[in-house]
């Protein structure tokens, strides 16, 4: 059962991305992305993030944008493991977590004067929500589910006093909150009427917080009523310790009286009681309440370069974000889990992968535009906690396509499609931190309220592929089990763009 609480700590440090993008990257920094995901060749204010070289083709002046998004995500793991029947009667259980980001703001600004454009943005570039697991996760419960099996087979003093133990229960609560705040600054230079280049960087600040507990682990010892195991085995350890002391004293008295045979019997009984006390104390420690209250923080710099080429009805944009070397440091208030990795002051790698984006846009008509894009995340080059990147078969890729139609001079509608594919393998996938390949669809509209002010509204949702992981040694229990991973995600957004 020692592994139980190591898993507990890992469970509540699950990543909670609620937006589009790679494993640690949010790409939806503007409402224009939500309504048309293929923004890699944009030359509007959202290009500050999606195509920073493209801002060179905006009009001279100051351009501002303020956006607000609400994201809601569910994560479902349907697990099949025979010992789960000890808690509810069914070997199949559904574990559901919810991640929410009620309001996530972002801000973009660009000032263009002739060939130079200076731009900046502030947004949540990674994470962006809080995940809550009210009933735990299968990798934890599978360990607790083994308690009846282990107790039933335990031999103490030549007998099995807990044979018939079939049921278990536990109270658990886990939540994690993760944000990566990004402040980006850069400059774009228009080399010619057709070509522009960008150079800049983003300062990333990570703020994570985790809280969780395991309480009141119970079992129906020997088929009786459910009882708290820590309390029971703490009491048993005390009783065995007292008995061992009494047997030791009796052995000493028998020895003094010259009765060596009786002294030997008392000594053997004292030894058995001492061993039983140690066993009971060990179980009591492992089934005691556990709690973690930990925050993490860290920062790193992302260098960014970009290029945009514009020719008549065609525009081509490319951006490369270098890998961000980043560690997070624990600030721990409570850690009674016994896992040293979450002690105060410990550092954990949390690199943000480098990213290459390529986009193209073509105006079929003055009022009708199409766009495509490709994003490549260099995940295997980024160092993750426990070197988890080793278990990826390859990097992540996204294919994007979109269309925009100006219904009138004041009303625009658009839609987009994104296919996200990760290099997933069974060893990478776990209920502690999982994602699956997905497709996303965005749609929305833009309303030009006057010559300077535009309102954007959009809805975006992702449909994730199912992923089935079968194991002959489910979470180290030596028994077979299966997890089926699934997710849903939806985002609503409203934003305003203003030009001076």
| Res 12: pLDDT | 40
Q: 253 lies in a domain?
A: no
| Res 157: pLDDT | 65
Structural domains of the chain, count: 1
| Res 2: pLDDT | 44
* Residue 490 belongs to domain spanning: 2-210+296-499
- Furthest C-alpha separation in the chain: 112
Q: What is the C-alpha to C-alpha distance for residues 347 and 342, in angstroms, rounded to an integer? A: 9
Transcribe 53-81 into DSSP letters: GGGGGSPSEEEEEEEEEEEEEEEEEEEE-
Q: 487 lies in a domain?
A: yes
Which residue matches tokens 């270098």? Answer: 322
Q: 86 lies in a domain?
A: yes
| Res 6: pLDDT | 46
| Res 428: pLDDT | 78
Give the DSSP letter of residue 186: E
CA 445 to chain centre: 31
- CATH number of the domain bearing residue 62: 2.40.160.60
Q: What is the C-alpha to C-alpha distance for residues 248 and 271, in angstroms, rounded to an integer? A: 9
Q: 259 lies in a domain?
A: no
The pLDDT tens digits of the residues spanning 337-351 come to 877 778 899 888 889
Helix (H, G, I), strand (E, B) or coil at 304: strand
Ranges under pLDDT 70 in the chain: 1-24, 128, 157, 432-433
Q: Which backbone phi and psi does 7 adopt, to 5 degrees?
A: -65, -40
Q: 357 lies in a domain?
A: yes
Q: 8 lies in a domain?
A: yes
Q: 289 lies in a domain?
A: no
| Res 9: pLDDT | 44
Q: Which backbone phi and psi does 140 adopt, to 5 degrees?
A: -80, -50
The pLDDT tens digits of the residues spanning 102-157 come to 888 999 999 999 999 999 999 998 876 777 878 777 877 888 899 898 888 887 76
Q: 419 lies in a domain?
A: yes
Q: Which backbone phi and psi does 452 adopt, to 5 degrees?
A: -110, -20
């Amino acid at each position: 059962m020692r592994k139980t609480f190591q898993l507990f700590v890992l469970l509540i440090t699950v990543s909670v991305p609620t937006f589009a993008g790679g494993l640690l990257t949010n790409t939806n920094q503007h409402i224009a992305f939500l309504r048309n995901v293929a923004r890699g060749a944009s030359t509007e204010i959202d290009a500050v993030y999606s195509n920073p070289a493209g801002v060179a083709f905006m009009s001279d002046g100051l351009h501002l944008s303020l956006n607000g998004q609400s994201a809601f995500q569910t994560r479902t793991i349907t697990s099949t493991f025979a010992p789960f029947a000890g808690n509810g009667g069914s070997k199949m259980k559904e574990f559901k977590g919810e991640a929410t980001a009620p309001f996530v703001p972002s801000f973009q600004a660009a000032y263009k004067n002739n060939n130079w454009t200076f731009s900046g943005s502030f947004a949540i570039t990674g994470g962006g929500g809080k995940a809550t697991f009210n009933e735990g996760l299968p990798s934890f419960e599978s360990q607790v589910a083994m308690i009846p099996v282990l107790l039933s087979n335990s031999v103490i003093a030549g007998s099995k006093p807990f044979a018939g133990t079939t049921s278990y229960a536990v109270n658990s609560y886990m939540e994690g909150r993760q944000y990566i705040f990004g402040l980006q600054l850069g400059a774009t230079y228009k080399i010619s009427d057709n070509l522009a280049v960008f150079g800049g960087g983003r300062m990333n600040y990570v703020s994570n917080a985790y809280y969780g507990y395991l309480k009141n682990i119970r079992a129906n010892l020997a088929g009786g009523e459910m009882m708290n195991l820590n309390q029971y085995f703490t009491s048993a350890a005390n009783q065995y310790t007292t008995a061992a002391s009494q047997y030791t004293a009796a052995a000493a008295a028998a020895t003094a009286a010259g009765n060596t045979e009786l002294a030997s019997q008392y000594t053997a009984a004292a030894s058995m009681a001492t061993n039983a006390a140690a066993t009971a104390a060990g179980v009591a420690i492992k089934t005691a309440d556990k709690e973690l209250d930990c925050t993490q923080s860290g920062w790193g710099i992302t260098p960014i370069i970009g290029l945009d080429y514009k020719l008549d009805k065609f525009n081509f944009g490319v951006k490369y974000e270098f890998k961000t070397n980043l560690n997070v440091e624990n600030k721990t208030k409570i850690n009674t889990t016994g896992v040293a990795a979450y002690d105060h002051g410990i550092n954990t790698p949390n690199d943000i992968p480098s990213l290459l984006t390529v986009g193209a846009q073509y105006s079929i008509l003055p009022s009708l535009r199409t766009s495509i894009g490709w994003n490549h995340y260099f995940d295997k080059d980024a160092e993750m906690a426990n070197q988890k990147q080793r278990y990826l078969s390859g990097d992540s890729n996204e294919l994007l396509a979109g269309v925009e139609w100006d219904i009138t001079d004041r009303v625009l509608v658009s839609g987009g499609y994104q296919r996200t594919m990760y290099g997933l393998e069974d060893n990478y996938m776990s209920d502690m931190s999982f994602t699956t390949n997905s497709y996303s669809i965005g749609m929305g509209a833009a309303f030009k309220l006057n010559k300077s002010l535009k309102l954007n509204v959009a809805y975006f949702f992702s449909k994730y592929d199912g992923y089935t992981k079968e194991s002959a040694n489910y979470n180290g229990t030596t028994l077979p089990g299966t997890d089926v991973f699934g997710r849903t995600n939806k985002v609503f957004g409203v934003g305003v763009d203003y030009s001076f």
